[in-house]
Every structure is written in structure tokens, then in C-alpha cells.
Amino acid sequence: MSAEICVDISDLNVTFNAGKRPVRAVNGVSLQVKQGEVVALIGESGSGKSVTMRSVLRLHSEKTSRITGSIRVLGEEVLAMSSRQLADFRGKTAAMIFQEPLLALDPVYTVGQQITESIVRHEPTSRSQAQARALELFERVRIPSPERRLSAYPHEMSGGMRQRAMIALALACRPRLLLADEPTTALDATVQIQVLLLLRELQREMGLGVIFVTHDIGAAVEVADRIAVMYAGRIVEQGDVRSIMRSPHHPYTQALLGSRAHGAMDKGARLQTIAGSPPDLANLGPGCAFAPRCKHASPQCEVATPEAHILNSGQEHLVRCFLHSPITSPHGT
């Protein structure tokens, strides 16, 4: 029996209109995440990863952004929800771990108060029961001296403990979908590993569907089942972790993986770099956005945008590049 679809994003487009020119931050993204599955979105800064994920919770200002397409979470269309429905949806059905918990947590309330308030808001429970659950959550995310830390303000906790508290807050109301926006970027290497292992353990235990945004390929390999590579607001390649790591097909994915340090490198060898700069999202041309930086670019790449195609491997490995001829029509991406 196939797993239930947790989130189904179809032809998502996000445009920001705050400046002189519209910025097309997300351009036709389609992505499915099954219940109990972790999908990592990777790519350079500005590729649209965080914008895509924040759209799932409709966190963008309606005054300065325009969102089209479809975002269905457990069958419910998020883009059609009223303000009241969104308030019930956020935290209960879908929750988010932000990149910098010191900014995401309210500085004037203790961490325990914030978790308790969230539980009382979404579940039919007393405040004392909510406090007991907050303590249980602190124990599950392995915060030392949990009783004392519940009474601490965010600034009184270390970066690693704040991130664990942020995870506890996100899981407080037992969501089905967890969105993690570069949750380990601000942490040192040792704490990063601890938080990643904790996230994976809790995800498996609770059967969560997870979208994990990161620019750290090592982190993506550690926690994800599938990887989706984003560039200029589009998913250019998608597949299971092993397939992407062993056999990347899109020139951008190949360049991205080649630009990292790895065990096979000779000592003192120079890292590979991706020539050029990311495109201006306010001035995207009609062709492939990676063409100006791609050594395989042809005249066709400059005038037309390639469709996503399933590769010959028979797996759900999709790539958006003219180097690969279509085999069959993909469901999405």
C-alpha cells in the first residue's frame, strides 16, 4: 500500500512586487512529499528554497507577493484557506523550524510559556496538561535540566538548546508536516550533527512528512530520502539520495556536487567553482536560467525552457535539461 501524500505542490509561482521590478522567486515548482518521507531542497542562496517552503504556510505578505498554482496539504488547498483556517492549520497540521530561533522565538516570554500557549491554542487541554507536555517535549529533544529550561527566556539559552527548543515548539501540536528551513546553519559542526540525528529520529518516530531546506549537501544526505535541486526558482533535478549523489545529470547538480570538499580530493587541491553568478530573478530570460554558466549550453538553451523528464533508469529521477531526451511525461516538478 502506497504512503499517503502529505503535501502536493503543483505549478507554484511566487512573484514579489515590492521593488521597481517584479521578482520571480519561484517559477513553476511541483513537488510531492509522502507521509513519513524527508525531501531536501538544495541549491545556492537565492534559488527559491525558503520562498517555496514559506509559501506552504502562506507566510508571505499578500500586499507584496502574488502566489499562483496549488499547495495541497493532506488534501486541503492551502491557497484557498481563510485567515481563520490558516490560524488552525499553522502549528497543528504543518509546523516550521526556522533558521534562527533567537529571531523566531518571542523574547518577552519564556520558552515554556510559548510552547504551552501553542498547545492550549490547538488542542482541547488544560494549561497544566500543556505544561506537562512541554516538559515531555523538552525531554524528548534532550535539553538538559528540562524543568529549569522551561522557565528560561530565549536569550538565556545556547544556540544548540534554542534550536532544540524550536524543534519542541514545532512538534508541540503533533503536526503531520514539518518544514525545516536550514535549521543547523547557525550551529557549530558538533551540534549540527546532534540536531540532524535528533530530527531524523523524531521524524521516523512520528511518521512526519518533512521538507528540509539546506545549502549543505552533507546535511541533506544525512537526513533525506529524496533530494530536489533548485536553481532560479525551478527544480532542475529530483531523485532519491543515492541516485542524485552517484549519478547527477543536470549540469548544475554536477557543478554543485563538484564544488564541495570530499574524501577523494588530493591534499592541497583547489576546489572546483561554478563560473559566473546566479541570475537576476527580476530579469529572467526565456531560456534555461543556468545556460550562461553552463559549459554544455547550446543556442536552444537560450531561447526555450526545458521540460522535466524522467530518465532511462526507471526510477523517479527527473531532470530539466535539453541534454536528456524525454522518455515519459512526469507527474510533476
Residues with Cβ within 8 Å of 71's Cβ and at least 6 positions away in sequence, in order, are 7, 8, 9, 10, 12, 55, 56, 77, 78, 79
Quote the pTM value: 0.90
Residue 110 lies in a domain: no
Q: Which domain holds residue 238?
A: 5-93+175-262+271-320
Q: What is the pLDDT of residue 271?
A: 74
Distance between CA 169 and CA 180 in Å, rounded? 13
Residue 310 lies in a domain: yes
Residue 194 lies in a domain: yes
Q: Which helix (H) or strand (E) holds 303?
A: helix 299-303
Distance between CA 320 and CA 333 in Å, rounded? 9
Q: What is the pLDDT of residue 315?
A: 62
CATH number of the domain at 87, please: 3.40.50.300
Strand 177-181 versus strand 65-73 pairing type: unpaired
Residue 306 lies in a domain: yes
Whether 166 and 101 have beta carbons less than 8 Å apart is answered as yes
Structural domains of the chain, count: 1
Q: b or e along 262-277 (b: 16 or more beta carbons within 10 Å of the residue's beta carbon)? A: eeeeeeeeeeeebeee
Residue 82 lies in a domain: yes
Residue 284 lies in a domain: yes
Q: Would the CA dihedral through 305, 38, 181, 175 be positive or negative?
A: positive
Q: Would the CA dihedral through 297, 300, 306, 309 be positive or negative?
A: negative
Q: What is the pLDDT of residue 87?
A: 95
Q: How far is CA 141 from CA 78, 81, 209, 258, in A?
A: 29, 32, 18, 35
Residue 80 lies in a domain: yes
Q: What is the pLDDT of residue 1?
A: 44
All 3 cell numbers of residue 5?
Answer: 501524500
Whether 241 and 220 have beta carbons less than 8 Å apart is answered as yes
Strand 65-73 versus strand 5-16 pairing type: antiparallel
Q: What angle do CA 12, 58, 45 make, to 5 degrees?
A: 65
What is the four-CA torsion angle of 101, 105, 110, 115, rounded to 10 degrees? -100
Whether 105 and 154 have beta carbons less than 8 Å apart is answered as yes
Tens of pLDDT, residue by residue, the chain (333 residues): 457 999 999 999 999 997 789 999 999 999 999 999 999 999 998 899 999 999 999 999 999 999 999 999 999 999 999 999 999 999 999 999 988 888 889 999 999 999 999 999 999 999 999 999 999 999 999 999 999 999 999 999 998 899 999 999 999 999 999 999 988 877 788 888 888 899 999 999 999 999 999 988 888 998 999 999 999 999 999 999 999 999 999 999 999 998 876 645 566 677 778 888 889 999 998 999 999 999 899 999 999 999 888 886 556 799 999 988 564 344 444
Residue 333 lies in a domain: no
Q: Would the CA dihedral through 162, 168, 171, 173 be positive or negative?
A: negative
Strand, helix or coil for residue 77 = strand
